Amino acid sequence: MHKENIKVYPEACVECLSCQLICSLTYQDRFVPERAYIQIDPRIDTHDVVKIRFTEDCVKECSLCVRYCVFEALGKV
DSSP secondary structure letters along 41-60: E--SSTTSPPEEEE-TT--T
Residue 1 lies in a domain: no
Give, in order, the Cα–Cα distances in Å from 20 to each of 47, 63, 64.
23, 12, 10
From the number of C-beta atoms within 10 Å of its C-beta (0-12, 13-18, 19+), residue 4 rates as exposed
The tens-digit pLDDT sequence of the chain (77 residues) is 456 789 999 999 999 999 999 999 999 999 999 999 999 998 887 778 899 999 999 987 899 999 999 999 999 98
Q: How many structural domains are present in the chain?
A: 1
- Domain hosting 22: range is 6-76
Give, in order, the Cα–Cα distances in Å from 68 to each of 28, 46, 47, 77.
17, 24, 25, 16
Residue 10 lies in a domain: yes
Residue 44 lies in a domain: yes
